Amino acid sequence: MIRKSFKLLRYNLSHIMMFEILYKLISLAILVPLIQGLLNLSVSAAGIRYLTAGTVRRYFASPTTFVYFFIILLLLVVHLLINSAGLIYALDCAYHDEKTNSVAIFFNGVYDAARVLRPRNFGIIFYVITIIPFTYTMLLSGSVVGIKIPQFLMWFYRMHKSVIAAVIAAYILLCFVMIRSVFTVHYYSLYNLDVKKARRKSGEITKKHRLKILIPILLINLCMTLVIVFFGGVATTIASGILKGIVSYKKFFFLRNMSVRVICFGLFIASSLLATPMSYAFLSVRFYDLSYGSLPADAPRESERERRAKHVLESKKQRVKHALVITSTILAALLVNGYYIYLSVTHRFGLNIAYSSRATVTAHRGDSAHAPENTMAAIRLAHENQADIIEIDVRETADGAYVVIHDESPYRTTGVKGKIGRMTLEQVKRLDAGSYFSEEYAGERIPTLIEVLTYAKENDIFLNIELKPAQTDHNYVEGIVDLIHQFEFEDQCVLASMSYKSIKRVKELDPDITTAYIMTVAYGEIGSMEYADIFSLKHTYVSGQIVRDIRANDKSLWTWTVNRDLDVKNVLLFDVDSVITDDPYATKEVIYRANDTLINDWFQRLVESY
């Protein structure tokens, strides 16, 4: 079956590839800006200017929003149908040993998609949204790569997880049930049947063969996905190895990320040109095998289409004409795409989604993504990488010294068992806190709070000092507050803790010191907790209600530990005051470019790399 599929695809392969390239260029030139324009119109129609965490509920409460969503869905259906019908036509020509060209493929796809406008064919929309996902399993369409994914949709999902999860599950089940209609477009396109008759014919020949159709399609897409992941991993590893040897440490991470983007983009384009034609080649082979007897093997295809197919190939003059059509279409599409990119880069076109860019970036335990956590190396690197605030953890030794380490036991970062509270400062200072991270940092020591305060004072660094009280402590909170006073550091730090009792004690000792209450989970009216000036909340638990409660009490919201680009953008929608992250430089970049389009972001990075 696979061999037959390759043979069928190979017959008109060059023209199919040209059609895929041509079609995706046209789609990118027309579909992407059109969809973004409709989304912007939907925002305006809902009576709001920008989508933010505060306006998204109002956006989805507007009936006009769903009208625009339906129009966008219709556009996507037509877009996918042109691609599908064009491929089916090209593969049918191959089955009948007929050559075709990309122009004929394109116009036959457009012809069949235009038939959707007839009332009797309107049901094809339902078919497309339930069946086509199987033929685009790996990627819905390479043509929509330029669309910037609206992050507010992810925010809305998080607010209604159970309901949306149930809807998605029901949709997936419906898709599997509808696999019997997998050959609807074949009958609709090749025999000019209306949708109702085409679905009935498809159901007749797939009655006992659904799994034999479904499983190979899923396997084809899975294999292509694995191949792409493999080659992407190999290419990324090679690029990282080359870059590591020729660029500086700071440039390495930026250039590595750029290389990953370029490699992934190239693989995505390549796979988008091959995955769908391969899926339809397999489906077409199954269709011809199963439809024997359902319709006569020599049943004439729609005469008007047959005449068009002959017409496009009948003379050298026509072939030259079609070559000119292809060339001019590609040039026009490139010009439109170029203009679209220009509008995006100059901020004249894009989705009206406003991400707050005022949030500061807090380096979690220093730049712990690139250096051993809570060491002077990590603190210095965080400062070099433009962190606004540096977060450290403080524990008390047996002899009353204050050292910067997160865990009560040093085992995770030094390999030595025991408790910090039962070790002297001299014992702690002998521990190697860098070797676990890499050989480069072998011999890095656990710093004292005094060392960090001295460095921070000299370099004007704002610290987020997390208090980690333990049963072995003697004069823990009082001693730390005394050091803050000694260094006159009251306006240059925040004392934070998961222990509300500790921050209460800080306020009792000095009401002017800013405090932060750290929470993994938050419920109820937390904003009224009087001893906390800031609430530091795990990013997965940030919600609109909690934000409103904190703001109503005139307090600040920090969120931790946020490392993925998507998560950073999600918390920006809530207008948080600080983002705590392991990678301060990368997070600063995300915040800086949060309101850029995908294309703008990519091109600006490309320019900066040179």
The residues that are catalytic are 364, 406
Burial 377-407 (b: 16+ CB within 10 A, else e): bbbbbbbebebbbbbbbbbbbbeebbbbbbb
CA–CA distance, 247 with 289 (Å, rounded to integer): 57
Helix (H) or strand (E) holding 537: strand 534-538
Who's near 590: CB < 8 A, 6+ residues apart?
565, 568, 569
25: its two tokens? 């260029």
CA–CA distance, 443 with 431 (Å, rounded to integer): 8
Who's near 242: CB < 8 A, 6+ residues apart?
none
Q: Give Cα separations from 332 to 102, 325, 329, 337 (angstroms).
A: 16, 10, 5, 9
- DSSP secondary structure code for residue 266 in this structure: H
377: its two tokens? 């190396």
Residue type, 420: I
Q: Could you tell me which of 464, 448, 450 has the C-alpha nearest to residue 395?
A: 448
Who's near 430: CB < 8 A, 6+ residues apart?
none
Provide the Cα torsion 458, 464, 465, 469; round to 10°.
Answer: 180
